[in-house]
Amino acid sequence: MKPKISVGYASCGIAAGASEVDKALRDAVSTTSMDVEVRRVGCVGMCHNEPIVEVHMEEGVYVYGDVSPDDAESIVRSHLGEGVPLEEKLIVSPEKDYDYFSSQKKIVLRNSGVIDPENIQEYIDSGGYDALKKVLDEMSPQDVIDEIKDSNLRGRGGAGFPTGLKWQFAADANADKKYIICNADEGDPGAFMDRSILEGDPHAILEGMIIGAYAIGADEAYIYCRAEYPLALKRLNIGIEQAKERSFLGEDILGTDFSFDIHIKEGAGAFVCGEETALMHSIEGGRGMPRPRPPFPAQKGLFDKPTNINNVETWANVPWIIRNGADRYSEIGTERSGGTKVFALAGKIKRGGLVEVPIGTPLREIIYDIGGGIDQDLEFKAVQLGGPSGGCLPAEYLDTPVDYETLTEAGAIMGSGGMIVMDECDCMVNVAQYFLDFTQKESCGKCTFCRVGTKRMLEILDRFTEGEGSQEDIEKLRSLAKYIKSYSLCGLGQTAPNPVLTTLRYFYDEYIQHIEHGHCTATVCRPLIIFQITDECVGCTRCASECPADAISGDPKSKHVIDQGTCVKCGACVEVCPVDAVEVE
């Protein structure tokens, strides 16, 4: 077999230096007589080890992590030239497994980091477009819908509505034209699932959409992707052109009378456009604002025509289900939710990245077995699930299975798949403030309860972090949350109070500390912390020199003092002290 070198060339890899590594590999290979192919692939999920380089040899695959350009040259010279792997950077080999993958089940991410996403032939060689051929050759539209129903696939955009049932509603709508939409407007802080799928396996989304269009009777589609994803957009455009050249898209697909085309609409980054009616309004050229439902999009959607909208991950599941069967898919996951879920594991975690696990996998297994536990071996405090509209769950929920019903009961949501881990150094009042600040700024302003209510809640949280809150304010938060959830028009407002409600539910004592004692135990809320210089001070004067407010005084070789009235609490003194003589209280 001809040796191959694969470079992880998704946004995470490029940001870590994959471009320089790729160039170094190509330059090193060019100076030898070896017949070696260097190729670019998507993200394999190990964002914590980027840049990633894989060496494919006859005996198996070798995976290297944290590769520098110098390492790249050594890999070519030592591993390929002399048969000696670069052990210090080796993560996986035919003799060495990596437990990051042991609990994962790759369906959506089956090709990401494996194939060249800009080469349609590699997708075809991996079984790509076989599902489309099967559908057109052997299945009626209703057969396809029934297969998706039987699979128990639920929408991966957050709400978890049964996908097959959604398709059925659109198929049953009587109209002269119907639309398909892929919602790729991923806007949650800390979330990068959809981006990685689009960058690593764009044809899986395209094939899923084509199958969905055949099932409901649509002939036109839009992929709504935010402009902040330039690499995903580039690879989608390449994929669409390649699919047209191979007759998978366009007129009379694969010689049948089924025609279908896909357009790309670039979004401007408005979080509210993740809501399906706001998204459609944006495609139509209007401002991204939701509208009341009913009528639902399946009856009256884009340009007032029946429309089916699913997110990136949902579409990427479809080809696998058609190829492997609904029964096999529904065996994975839980009784009510088939298949896997992709999560962006981020925050205070040792091994952040992209993980795909069967629905129902416990949080502990994701955070500790796959994620490697808490960074710097600190104590786990909470995990935020479902993005800014999700909830914060404490350590007592670590053995909770990750499924739609269980998470909702606990006060969180599955969401699109963001999972942000927090440790003992995080202040949960500050966390609630951060996420509410995000949703308040992203509110489109249409609903009074969302526009004004979230602002009032944020003002109360601001008072807490400044030591000016009261017990009465806690009741105001709960009351405002109740009305915002009940009377907001779309999911943004309906779920915006979740971080506040869950932190009140599980971390009530931290709110009391802020209110009654004017103290932030995590020393995060700056107005509530005090910097003090201890007797360990050696009088080196570094802190005084670095203080931007001239709040530190003292003679050389004598203990210094901080003027609390002048101190701006920037933390510069802590950073420069050579003997750790500055305490934060």
User: pLDDT (tens digit, 9 = 90+) per residue, 114-137?
Assistant: 999 999 999 999 999 999 999 999
549: Cβ contacts below 8 Å, ≥ 6 apart? 566, 567, 568, 570
pLDDT of residue 285: 95
Q: How confident is the model at residue 187 (pLDDT cuts 50, 70, 90)?
A: confident
How far is residue 513's CA from residue 107's CA, in Å, rounded to a whole number?
Answer: 46
Please tell me the CATH code under which domain 428-516 is placed.
1.20.1440.230
- 3 state SS for 482-533: HHHHHHCCCHHHHHCCHHHHHHHHHCHHHHHHHHHCCCCCCCCCHHHCCEEE
Tell me the two tokens of residue 142.
């209703």
For domain 340-423, give the fold.
Answer: Ubiquitin-like (UB roll) (3.10.20)
With cut-offs at 50, 70 and 90, classify the pLDDT of residue 102.
Answer: confident
Specify the pLDDT at position 386: 86
Over the stretch 243-284, which tens digit does the pLDDT of each residue have? Answer: 999 999 999 999 999 999 999 999 998 999 999 999 999 999
Give the tokens for residue 275. Answer: 């809501």
Taking phi first (over 0 means left), then psi (-120 to 50 degrees means alpha), and beta for anything else, what does residue 174 get? beta
Is residue 481 predicted with pLDDT exceeding 80? yes
Strands 220-226 and 340-347: unpaired
Question: What is the pLDDT at residue 415?
Answer: 82
Task: Report the pLDDT value the prediction gives residue 96, as an integer from 0 to 100.
Answer: 83
**Stretch 451-462: mean pLDDT, rounded?**
96
Q: What angle do CA 207, 208, 213 make, to 5 degrees?
A: 95
User: Which CATH code fits 120-330?
Assistant: 3.40.50.11540
Instruction: Compute the half-sphere exposure of residue 109: CA atoms within 13 Å on the CB side of its CA.
Output: 26
Burial bucket for residue 519 (CB in 10 Å: 0-12, 13-18, 19+): middle
Q: Do residues 151 and 140 lie in contact, with contact meaning Cβ atoms separated by under 8 Å?
A: no
Residue 581 has pLDDT above 80, yes or no: yes
| H/E stretch holding 357 | strand 353-358
Q: Supply angle C-alpha 116, 196, 114, rounded to 5.
A: 30
Let me know if domain 4-92 sits in CATH 1.10.599.10.
Answer: no
Q: Give the distance, in angstroms, between the CA of residue 52 and the centroid of all CA atoms in the same chain.
A: 20
Whether residue 107 is predicted with pLDDT greater than 90 in this model: the reply is yes
- pTM here? 0.93
How much is the pLDDT for 389?
A: 83
Whether 1 has a pLDDT exceeding 80, the answer reads no
Q: For 410-416, what is the mean pLDDT?
A: 86
Pick the CATH number of 530-584 from 3.40.50.1000, 3.30.70.20, 3.40.50.300, 3.40.50.720: 3.30.70.20
120-330 shares the fold of 4-92: no
Hey, where are the domains in the chain? 4-92, 120-330, 340-423, 428-516, 530-584
